[in-house]
Amino acid sequence: MESGDLDCALAGGNVCAVARRRGITAFVADGLIRDLAEVREVRSGCAAAGSRPTRATRSD
């Protein structure tokens, strides 16, 4: 995944849980993730540029 934005996270615990249920065992994020405790609990392999507690906002 790619966000290009280091002001907010592009993925978190919910994304990792859904990915795990769909059989995805790991992903690489060119951006930040959040919910580190949830990500670790799901045991989904994740490599990211860093972490941040702030979620992304929609710009519909």
User: Where along the chain do its domains lie?
Assistant: 9-51
**14-23 pLDDT, tens digit each:** 888 888 889 9
User: Is 15 one of the annotated binding-site residues?
Assistant: yes
User: Is 34 one of the annotated binding-site residues?
Assistant: yes
| pTM: predicted TM-score of the whole model, two decimal places | 0.67
**10-49 pLDDT, tens digit each:** 788 888 888 888 998 888 888 888 888 888 887 777 888 8
DSSP annotation string for 23-51:
T--EEEEEEEE--HHHHHHHT-EEEEEEE
Q: Which amino acid is at 46?
A: C
User: Is 13 one of the annotated binding-site residues?
Assistant: yes
User: Is 50 one of the annotated binding-site residues?
Assistant: no
Nearest CA to 16 out of 38, 31, 48 is that of 38
User: Is 39 one of the annotated binding-site residues?
Assistant: no
